[in-house]
Amino acid sequence: MLDPKLLRNSIDTVAARLKKRGFTLDVPKFNALDEQRKALQMKMQELQNERNVRSKEVGQAKAQGKNVEEVFKSLKQLSDTLKVQEELYAAVQQELDDFLAVIPNLTHDSVPDGENENDNATIRTWGEPKKFSFKAKEHAELASINGWMDFETAAKLSGARFVVLRGPIARLSRALGQFMLDLHTTQHGYDEIFVPYMVKAEVLFGIGQLPKFKEDLFAVECDGEQKYLISTSEPPVTNTVREQILEEAQLPIKYTCYSSCFRSEAGSYGKDTSGMLRQHQFEKVELVQIVHPDKSYEALEEMTKHAEKVLQLLELPYRVVALCTGDIGFAAAKTYDLEVWLPGQDKYREISSCSNTESFQARRMKARFRDADGKIELVHTLNGSGLAVGRTLIAVIENNQDELGRIHIPKALQPYMGGMTVIE
């Protein structure tokens, strides 16, 4: 959430910056709501002061043995008027909060201007796409031969956009998750954490998924309350510092988490309907950092390199892309996407997003820290995929196929596969 003071002091500048990312700020509405809030607040404070004066008068009259009935009656009327005023103020404040809740973050100055993904900027590439002497197959065709990737059975069990993995492909998926966790915890300094898969609405509000992206979430009833299945472990992991004041010495906090993720894909009807690219349920290893505001862009570069290291060790060609103002996510101030090469599709596809949200999420979560001088400030939060396990599985399968349909296992994964070097 943006700082309301920023809008009050520089609303035209904020509106111009938001327009670059395709969001039109209703300036007259904000100004009207804010003026209404201020007027109600001033009136409320006047009534509170008057109530305090009248309360003292009642006490003095009692001490002097005077009849306090008229003064008390006047105080009661004043209290009733104040209560109405407080309710009016609360209603306007809630309307203002709702208005602020759907405004996206401001992008960093280094984010390229653009309208959509075609305007994203390639920052660097790693590895050369392999040239096959045969027509490369897609993952679903390769792994479905022996029923190792079974979409038909999954459809019977759960419907479209689910998969049943069996045998060596199931083991390969598990190996990928374990490999990623080991890398991030032993070499990159993250603490492993495991979180619930169902969360409350305020958790999703805290990271910016609610109210804007409600249609992309699966809601469930649990203990008489509506909860939501996580679309990534970012919400519960980031919210572990919600409504806390950390000490500066605790920063940075670095977590990695393996979880299942659940997405309705409401906005992607008709896209990637075959194979495992876009599923309702998938696994991901998440990276989250809670850092000092002065260190967040350094942390973004570090986190991106941590995600890249996974692809490098798996020998998968990829490129790093800076998302433009028109393609960046709601809460992000700056985002790098990693796009892995898929020979079966003959194109690069997203496999990770690493984002700095600056204080946007922290303000919604009330996540703060106390600096060396005792001043309370908002932390900066970052998140990234390190990586999406299902898409990494796709990339490993497609990039390591041979003309006989076998899948060769990257050296980094062989210890997790019991020494197996090839899936026949």
Per-residue model confidence (pLDDT) at position 53: 84
Residue of 54, 161, 263, 363 marked catalytic? 263
CB burial string 294-330: b at 16+ within 10 A, e below: eebbebbebbbebbbbbbebbebbbbbbbbbbbbbbb
Residue of 57, 350, 370, 377 marked catalytic? 350
Which residue in 249, 248, 208 sits closest to 100, CA to CA?
208
Question: 231 catalytic, yes or no?
Answer: no
Q: What share of the chain is helix, strand, coil (3-state, %, to 5)?
A: 45, 20, 35
Instruction: Tell whether 201 and 95 lie within a shared domain.
Output: no
What angle is formed at CA 107 by the lines to CA 105 and CA 113, rounded to 5 degrees? Answer: 135
Residue of 17, 51, 278, 370 marked catalytic? 278
Question: 391 catalytic, yes or no?
Answer: yes
Instruction: Tell whether 80 and 219 lie within a shared domain.
Output: no
Per-residue model confidence (pLDDT) at position 60: 74
Q: Please write the tens of the pLDDT for every residue from 36-81.
A: 999 999 999 999 998 888 778 777 766 777 766 777 788 888 888 9
Is residue 64 domain-resident? yes
Domain-ending residue, one of 101, 128, 157:
101
Q: Please write the tens of the pLDDT for every residue from 93-125.
A: 999 999 999 999 999 999 999 999 999 999 999
Question: 263 catalytic, yes or no?
Answer: yes
3-class DSSP state of 129: coil
Instruction: Tell whether 285 and 375 lie within a shared domain.
Output: yes
Residue of 353, 355, 359, 385 marked catalytic? 353
Is residue 10 domain-resident? no
CB 302 within 8 A of CB 288: no
Is residue 5 domain-resident? no
Q: What CATH number is given to the structural domain containing 178?
A: 3.30.930.10
Instruction: Tell whether 181 and 314 lie within a shared domain.
Output: yes
| Predicted TM-score of the model (pTM) | 0.93
Per-residue model confidence (pLDDT) at position 73: 81
Instruction: Tell whether 309 and 386 lie within a shared domain.
Output: yes
Round the CA-based radius of gyration of the chain to a whole number and report it.
27
Instruction: Tell whether 195 and 295 lie within a shared domain.
Output: yes
CB 228 within 8 A of CB 198: yes
Is residue 386 domain-resident? yes
Is residue 164 domain-resident? yes
For residue 211, whether the previous peptide bond is cis, meaning omega lies within 30 degrees of 0, is: yes
Q: Look-up: residue for tokens 């892309």? A: 321
Q: Give the strand pairing for 368-370 and 198-199.
A: unpaired
Single-letter code of the amino acid located at 380: H
Instruction: Tell whether 258 and 388 lie within a shared domain.
Output: yes
Q: Tokens standing for 208?
A: 């910016």
Instruction: Tell whether 207 and 334 lie within a shared domain.
Output: yes
| Domain span holding position 394 | 117-423
CB 229 within 8 A of CB 260: no
Q: Tokens standing for 384?
A: 């990234």
Structural domain total, the chain? 2
- Give the rounded distance of the alpha carbon of 160 from its chain centre: 25
Cα separation, 382 vs 333, whole angstroms: 10
Question: 161 catalytic, yes or no?
Answer: no
Residue 243, CA distances (Å) to 6, 71, 208 in order: 22, 42, 16
Is residue 18 domain-resident? no
What angle is formed at CA 367 by the lines to CA 365 and CA 373, rounded to 5 degrees? Answer: 155
CB 230 within 8 A of CB 262: yes
The Cβ-side half-sphere exposure at 26, using a 13 Å CA radius, reads 11
Per-residue model confidence (pLDDT) at position 70: 74
Which residue in 237, 226, 284 sits closest to 260, CA to CA?
284
Is residue 358 domain-resident? yes
Instruction: Tell whether 68 and 161 lie within a shared domain.
Output: no
Per-residue model confidence (pLDDT) at position 26: 97
Single-letter code of the amino acid located at 417: M
Per-residue model confidence (pLDDT) at position 266: 66
Instruction: Tell whether 207 and 293 lie within a shared domain.
Output: yes
Cα separation, 198 vs 188, whole angstroms: 28
The Cβ-side half-sphere exposure at 276, using a 13 Å CA radius, reads 33
Instruction: Tell whether 38 and 142 lie within a shared domain.
Output: no
In what helix (H) or strand (E) does residue 288 lie, and over which residues does it extend? strand 281-291
Is residue 3 domain-resident? no
All residues at 6 or more sequence positions from 162 whose CB lies less than 8 Å from its CB, including other chains: 151, 154, 155, 279, 280, 281
All residues at 6 or more sequence positions from 243 whose CB lies less than 8 Å from its CB, including other chains: 365, 366, 367
Residue of 359, 364, 391, 398 marked catalytic? 391
Q: What CATH number is given to the structural domain containing 69?
A: 1.10.287.40
Instruction: Tell whether 339 and 197 lie within a shared domain.
Output: yes
Regions of the chain where pLDDT drops below 50: none
For residue 342, how many other CB atoms are within 10 A of its CB? 25
